[in-house]
Structure 1
Amino acid sequence: MFNVREITTEDVELLLDYWYSRSDDQLIKMGANPSKMPSREVFRINILNQLSLNYKLKKAYATIWLYNGIPIGHNNINKIIFGQEAYMHLHIWDVENRLKGLGQKLIKKSIALFFKNFNLQILFCEPYSKNPAPNKLLRKLGFTFMKKYSTIPGSINFKQEVNRWALSKEKFDTLKWI
């Protein structure tokens, strides 16, 4: 019913469709600045370039979330320092699949892959503070709230208040959901 796998070349268009089918208002609600979005082709090339790299060389990594065999979202990390840390992002593509608890079931499997494949000691997530769903989910998963601060969290974002959450390897190893 629920499954998570590494992104493949066949998934790239689905991921791009998610980003490039959003209205400006939808992008802003996620914390993205529509004027900073790269062209679809540049985004495609960036994703494809990461797929063939060894884990130690990847700057970004994504998992695809499946429900009943159908891709419904993705979970990715970037700012990866192999053996140390990474920053996580989560996206359920279709509105109909949000707020149903699917993300909580799927993200657990992705997080396990992130810690294993990148030998992480800590995993961060910095959702837009005005986006309640990911903040609530991170608390439920056992992430520790670190701070709220203003930053430009990524290349497609505007300056915004984010909540920094962290999950250490030590705490991850004690969680009962793994």
Structure 2
Amino acid sequence: MALTVRLMTAAETPLILDYFHNATPEHLELLGVDPTRLPARAAWQSAYEQELALPVEQRKSLLVIWLLNGRAIGFSTSDRILRGERANMHLHIVEPDLRVQGLGTQCVKHSVDIYFEELKIRKLFCEPNAFNAAPNRTLQKAGFKFVKTHMTVPGPLNYHQAVTQWVIER
């Protein structure tokens, strides 16, 4: 089993669009995603292409792809980046049959290394939906520390919800 975690290319971003646009309403609810906030595919793809054309130091987000034996199985994104200080990350395994096998923990650990290296941050936060047990377990296993559970809008695709805030520091 060869696991590869690296920065995502513009050609690979349809993985993200497909993941969200093809998700069932129940899965989006589990993620705390409001389907009305999903950008149209063409606009979203164009935005990713523009973002990924910039040097890493100028990007407002960083995208990481997770590959198992060369096949894309998931991704992580970071946003709310304050270089040298902090960022927020999101994590998704796109193939349901690969969830709950420990792959997410390995992928998150590698993604964390990339975020700290590329963004030169000291703290990395993640705020999954408080009722979505899988990412909360994954973050704990990957070395994140529990901060609090609170109500917020964790990202541009989300609605106001209960989230569990986790942090990892270096």
Normalising by the residue count of structure 1, what TM-score does the alignment of the two structures yield? 0.91
Which residue does the alignment assign to 2:27? Answer: 26
Q: Which runs of 5+ in 2 are unaligned?
A: none
CA distance in 1, matches of 2:11, 2:40: 19
| Deviation (angstroms), 1:12 | 1.5
**Aligned residues of 2:81 and 2:88 also touching (Cα < 8 A):** yes
Which residue does the alignment assign to 2:98? Answer: 97
Name the SS of the counterpart of 1:59 in structure 2: coil
Q: Which runs of 4+ in 1 moved over 6 A?
A: none
Which residue does the alignment assign to 1:74? Answer: 75
Which residue does the alignment assign to 2:113? Answer: 112
Which residue does the alignment assign to 2:7? Answer: 6
CA distance in 1, matches of 2:130, 2:36: 21
Name the SS of the counterpart of 1:63 in structure 2: strand
**Aligned residues of 2:6 and 2:114 also touching (Cα < 8 A):** no
CA distance in 2, matches of 1:48, 1:36: 19
| Deviation (angstroms), 1:165 | 0.5
| Deviation (angstroms), 1:167 | 0.6
**Aligned residues of 2:108 and 2:142 also touching (Cα < 8 A):** no
Which residue does the alignment assign to 1:151? Answer: 152
Number of residue pairs the alignment of both structures matches: 169
Name the SS of the counterpart of 1:137 in structure 2: helix
In structure 2, the CA distance between the partners of 1:9 and 1:55, relative to structure 1 (3 Å rule), is closer
| Deviation (angstroms), 1:43 | 1.4
Name the SS of the counterpart of 2:13 in structure 1: helix
Give CA deviations for 1:44-71 in whole Å, capped at 9, x if unaligned.
Answer: 1221111121222111111100001111
CA distance in 2, matches of 1:5, 1:153: 24
Normalising by the residue count of structure 2, what TM-score does the alignment of the two structures yield? 0.95
CA distance in 2, matches of 1:6, 1:122: 19
